Amino acid sequence: MDIKDIIKPENKVYGKSPVLTDNIMHYCPGCSHGTVHKLIAEVIDEMGIQDKTIGISPVGCSVFAYNYLDIDWQQAAHGRAPALATATKRLCPDKYVFTYQGDGDLASIGTAEIIHACNRGENIVVIFINNAIYGMTGGQMAPTTLLGQVTATTPYGRRADLNGFPLKITELIAQLEGTCYVTRQSVQNAASARKTKKAIRKAFENSAMNKGTSFVEVVCTCNSNWKLSPVKANQWMVENMFPFYPLGDMKDR
């Protein structure tokens, strides 16, 4: 049997979302970014809003998100994505505007921008990837790095007296009047990915209803910088990240 005999519509069991491009992703094998990208692409496709969606990519591993989702993109300076999104949404209120930011981008250098965009209740979607480490620069401590966690700049483990405490920024965001939906999800298995997709969809729908800012944190792995295999990284995340960053909705109104 030839491969051409297999590739037939009637044999198709899974299709790549047309909103995903054919570019080969630069992410490490096992990285969570690919999964979250796919979920966003599926939501955009299913809602039929490809021509109405503008993405804002951050500085960090996902700076190149624009290579993978076939929509119009703006690539922001480090931490400033919520400022770009604010202006974009206010100037183009008929568009769906989302930022895609890592923990270094959102919870460290961009703290002011995210707090104020959420507090103003900008009708945007924030996808927050929390893997407790700086990925692209080679595994340095992030604001969300757990106590005791070894990184390139905490080689003996994060110490509260030296480095302060891990920042639960999502809990902080949930306190702000401007946010309508704040949730923490994960993508380590099919069930959790399905829940995350639902959360992303709800966030996009909220933005069309002008309900305020929707904030979706996805607790993720960075197996390369955690120096673990993809499977072990998922285990480590479940055992260490989830107790400190518990999953679930913090706010939904």
Partner 1 sequence: MAEKILMKGNEAIARAAIHCGCDGYFGYPITPQSEVMETLMEEMPWETTGMVVLQAESETSSINMLYGGASCGKRVMTSSSSPGISLMCEGISYLAGAELPCLVVNVVRGGPGLGTIQPGQGDYFQMVKGGGHGDYKCIVLAPASAQDMYDFVSKAFDLAFKYRTPAIILSDGVIGQMMEKVEMSEQKPRWTDEEIKKNSPWACTGKTNDRKQNIITSLALDAAVHEKLNERLQAKYKKMEEEDVLFDSYMTEDAEHLLVAYGSMSRICQSVVETARENGIKLGLLRPITLFPFANKEIDRLVPQLKSIMSVELSAGQMVEDVRLVVNGRIPVNFYGRLGGIVPSPEEVYEAFVKSIK
Residues that bind partner 1 (CB under 8 A): 50-54, 56-57, 63, 66, 70-77, 80, 83-88, 90-92, 95, 112-113, 115-116
- Closest to 28 measured CA to CA, from 166, 110, 139, 181: 139
CB of 229: closest distance to partner 1 in angstroms? 28
In the bound state with partner 1, the residue whose beta carbon lies nearer, of 100 and 226, is: 100
CB of 120: closest distance to partner 1 in angstroms? 8
CB of 80: closest distance to partner 1 in angstroms? 4
CB of 110: closest distance to partner 1 in angstroms? 10
CB of 54: closest distance to partner 1 in angstroms? 5
**Which positions ≥6 away from 96 have C-beta within 8 Å?**
44, 49, 52, 53, 54, 125, 204, 207, 208
In the bound state with partner 1, the residue whose beta carbon lies nearer, of 92 and 231, is: 92
Could you give the CA distance from residue 34 to residue 32 in angstroms, rounded to a whole number? 6
Structure-block tokens of residue 63: 């700076």
In the bound state with partner 1, the residue whose beta carbon lies nearer, of 173 and 193, is: 173
Contact predicate 162/137, CB 8 Å: no
In the bound state with partner 1, the residue whose beta carbon lies nearer, of 21 and 163, is: 21
Could you give the CA distance from residue 181 to residue 203 in angstroms, rounded to a whole number? 7
DSSP, collapsed to helix, strand or coil, labels residue 224 as helix
Question: 154 - beta bridge partners?
Answer: 151
Q: Give φ, ψ of 201 to 5 degrees.
A: -60, -45
In the bound state with partner 1, the residue whose beta carbon lies nearer, of 105 and 166, is: 105
Task: Give the pairing type, strands 125-130 and 179-186.
Answer: unpaired
In the bound state with partner 1, the residue whose beta carbon lies nearer, of 115 and 247, is: 115
CB of 92: closest distance to partner 1 in angstroms? 5
CB of 69: closest distance to partner 1 in angstroms? 8
Could you give the CA distance from residue 44 to residue 53 in angstroms, rounded to a whole number? 8
- What Cα–Cα distance (Å) separates residue 205 from each residue in 41, 146, 208? 15, 33, 5
In the bound state with partner 1, the residue whose beta carbon lies nearer, of 92 and 162, is: 92
